[in-house]
Amino acid sequence: MAEINIMETIPDKMVIPLKQHNGDVCEPLVSKGEVVKVGQKIGECPSDRCAAIHSSVCGEVVSVEESSHPSGNRINSVVIQPVEETECEDFTPFKDSGREQLISVIKEAGIVENYGTPTHLVLNPPDCDIDTVLINATASEWVGHNYETPLEYASEMLDSLRLLMKAAGASRGAIVLRNDDEDSIDAFDGLDYEGKTIMVAPLIGKRRVGYYFNDQDTDIIVVSQDKIYGKNIFEYFTYNVTGRKVPFRCTPASVGVAICGVKSAKALNDLVNTGMPYIETVVTVSGQVNNPQRLLVKIGTSFKDVIEACGDYRGEPAKLISNGVITGVAQYDEEVPVTKMTTSIIVQDKDEVLKDISKDCIHCARCVDVCPVDLIPNRIAALSNQGRFDECRQMHIENCIECGRCSSVCPSKIHVMQLIQYSKEAIARADEDFSEKESSNIKLGCSCGSE
């Protein structure tokens, strides 16, 4: 298994954003001058659309103020000056918890998927029943633990899947691996679990998880498939794994599927067995640093401190990117903190930074050839560039999974994916702005005022 190092040094300052998820900003529970412990809740959820925030260190609150955030915005954050002591809150395990209690403690522990949705909303969505839980282990995220043997990792992931199924009230669950992830496949294949032997089954042709649930006569299976990469893969992933089509503008929950990552699965396992909230995460640091590695860091540590822990920059840095070269976000400040949604930090030098000027499309169709969902990216990008969003919709722009392959192969260096994202955002905002009621200066009904 991949080695994960632990960042032992405590930075001089920790900035813990009160929003590390999609949804509402948490309300601060601490103020300047207060001393906080490791694991102490410092951000309260004002609604169901968020997850609680906890301190990852012991120290004094210096301020509660707006600070730089990896999303590019400034977010209200708790700034803490750590001390050497590591006094912790009294963590209480949650073994033998029922479904409702599990959902509640997941929210209180601040567990969030790396794509931003609070895990309690994934497992317990409003107005939807979940019957199948999938752990997507095909992404480039890593769990924060060094296991003595691969079998230990596999057993813990299966235990985590069982917990997720319990929290969701689901009758079936599957762990989805990558076909080329030989370490993980070897760890699961042949493992005895709950009296049955796990067999990693490949998703080939029309054989989805439903086939293997019946074939192996079990409610938990492990399958493998080709890597699916992109920022918006869930409809495609759901169909590829289960065969269920997610309706337009709906989530996988609408067809009874909950998709979690390995990090949130591990966080739930830790919460149930130790009571520890979500306060640390594994970050893959690569590119122009002296010692690239996977590092377990405390949430709130700045990118700059993480890079220093990796031996500092190699040469002069030109660009800092979080969460992937193609689909990630370039950072304007190395002081931005690691959050629950941070999976990687990439440093590029000036020779790696693309500075090409876009030219006219030559209609080579390379973007069409590589599109995994059979769109015509160059045509959609051209329509988007002209603001013809209705026509983009007619060309099924919502099916784009934002993998970025179109941009990477374009010989004219057209920002195809960015134009598609721009159009998708414009379409979404147009729908949000659509008034459901009549104008305030118009009344329905007859002129006498009756309805």
- Annotation: binding site for [4Fe-4S] cluster: 361, 364, 367, 371, 400, 403, 406, 410
Q: Helix and strand tally (H, E) in the chain?
A: 13, 20
- Within 10 A of 201 (CB to CB), how many other CB atoms are there? 18
* Distance from C-alpha of 204 to C-alpha of 372, rounded to nearest angstrom: 16
Residue 361's closest CA among 419, 309, 311, 313?
A: 419
Q: Which strands make up the sheet holding 200-202, listed edge to edge?
A: 200-202, 220-225, 172-178, 132-136, 257-261
Burial profile 300-319: b = 16 or more Cβ within 10 angstroms, e = fewer: bbbbbbbbbbbeebeeebeb
**Three-state DSSP state, 265:** helix
Please state the residue numbers annotated as binding site: 361, 364, 367, 371, 400, 403, 406, 410
3-class SS at 381?
A: helix
Question: What DSSP line would sit under 199-254, residue for residue?
Answer: -EEE--TT--HHHHHHHHTSSEEEEEE----SSS-HHHHHHHHH-PPPPTT--GGG
Nearest to 43 by CA among 76, 85, 71: 76
Token couple for 382:
């051209």
Facing residues of 60 across strands? Answer: 35, 81
Question: Which residue, chain included where needed, has tokens 């440093």?
Answer: 347
Check the CA dihedral 206-209-210-214 and report its sign: positive
CA 279 to chain centre: 16
Identify the helix (H) or strand (E) that includes residue 29: none
Q: Cβ distance 56 to 82 under 8 Å?
A: no
Count CA within 13 A, CB hemisphere, residue 239.
11
